[in-house]
Amino acid sequence: MEGRVMKSTGSWYEVLGEDRQVYLCRLQGKLRLEEVKESNPVAVGDVVELIIDNKDASITEVKPRDNHILRQSVKKTGHTHVLAANVDQVLLIATLKHPRTSTGFIDRFLVSAEAFRIAQVIVFNKKDLLSEEERNEVDQLQNLYSAVGVATEFISAKADESLESVRELLRNKTTLIAGHSGVGKSTLLNRLFPHLKQAVREVSDATQKGTHTTTFAEMFHIDSKTFVIDTPGVKEWGLSEMTSQEISDYFPEMRELRLDCKFGSRCLHLTEPGCAVRQAVEDGRIYLSRYDSYVNMVTGKDNRK
C-alpha cells in the first residue's frame, strides 16, 4: 500500500495510507543502509510503500520525488536537510519587526525554492504592530517581490477578521510554510484551521526573537486536496547543492539577462566587463537589494539571517 509521510520524529514516521488511516512506521533495514548525503532520507511529503503486518507497519520504498525543498544540515557537515518533498508551493511568513526578517533571508529561501521551480508566496505578517511608515516599507517589499513573480499578502494573523485570501492560496495544494521563530506560523494556521490547535508562544521582549514551538516538520491533511506543512522556526538558511556559477539562474530577473553578458553563462555578474545584469541594476531594472543578496550568496559574505 502507498502512503504519504505526515511526520518524522527521527526513527518513527507517521504515514497517511491510501485507506486514510495513519500508521506509525519504522524504516525497513535496507533503507537505512543506503549511502545518502541527506540527514533525513525520508522526509515529510514523501510518497512511500508500506508493508503492514498485524499492527506493525514498515516503509519499504521511497517513491521518486517530484521536487523537494532543502537547506544545509545544521548537524552534519556536508549533508543536506530535506524540509519536505512533493510540494506545490512554499509560503514564507515574514515580519518587519518582532522579529525582523531580512531581505537576505527572504532571497535565500526564494532561491532554494526556485532551484526546483517551486512556486513561492510571501505573507508579511503583524500588520497591526506597524506604523504607517513601516506599512509603506512593506508595500515597497510587496512591489519588489511581485515584480519577480512572487505572490504576496500583507496581514495580521491576530487581528484580521478575514484571512480568506491566504486560505484561497492554500486551497487544493500541498504548501510548505516556513519562517523565523516568532513570525506567527502557528497563529496563522490556528486562525485558518482551528482544529489544528498549534502551540503558540510570544516573542521575547528582551531578544525580539521567537522561541521554537514546532520541533519537527509536520504535514496536516486539511481536505482531500489540501495539505499544509508546518516547519520548525529557522534561524538561518544555508544554500545547498548549488554552485556560484548557477545561483543567478534562480533569480528570475537575472536569468532573463545573463546570456546578454559579454561572457555569457560564465559571467558571475561581479566585476566582469559587459555585464548585462550589473547594467540592469544601474538602470533600475533589477532591485539593488536583490542584487546585494545575490552578491552575498556568491561570495559567501551573507550571514544567512
Nearest to 239 by CA among 36, 42, 81, 46: 81
Give yes or no for a contact between 94 and 124, defined as CB atoms under 8 angstroms apart. Answer: yes
Residue 237 is assigned to a structural domain of this protein: no
Helices (H), 25-120: 29-33, 103-114
CATH of the domain at 47: 2.40.50.140
Distance CA 11, CA 71 (A): 21
Residues 99, 182: one domain? Answer: yes
Distance CA 167, CA 97 (A): 24
Chain center to CA of 207: 24
Residues 176, 45: one domain? Answer: no
Cell 513570525, located at residue: 183
Query: Which grid coordinates are listed for 286?
Result: 533589477
Question: Which structural domain, as residue segments, surrounds residue 216?
Answer: 70-76+82-230
Cell 512591489, located at residue: 143
Residues 96, 174: one domain? Answer: yes
CATH of the domain at 189: 3.40.50.300
Chain center to CA of 229: 10
Residues 144, 21: one domain? Answer: no
Distance CA 303, CA 305 (A): 6
Distance CA 38, CA 157 (A): 34
When pLDDT is cut at 50, 70 and 90, the band that residue 210 belongs to is very low
Q: Does the pLDDT of residue 171 top 90, yes or no?
A: yes
Q: State the pTM of this model.
A: 0.88
When pLDDT is cut at 50, 70 and 90, the band that residue 252 belongs to is very high
Residues 224, 149: one domain? Answer: yes
When pLDDT is cut at 50, 70 and 90, the band that residue 288 belongs to is very high
pLDDT in tens, 221-235: 999 899 999 988 776
Residue 304 is assigned to a structural domain of this protein: no
Residue 161 is assigned to a structural domain of this protein: yes
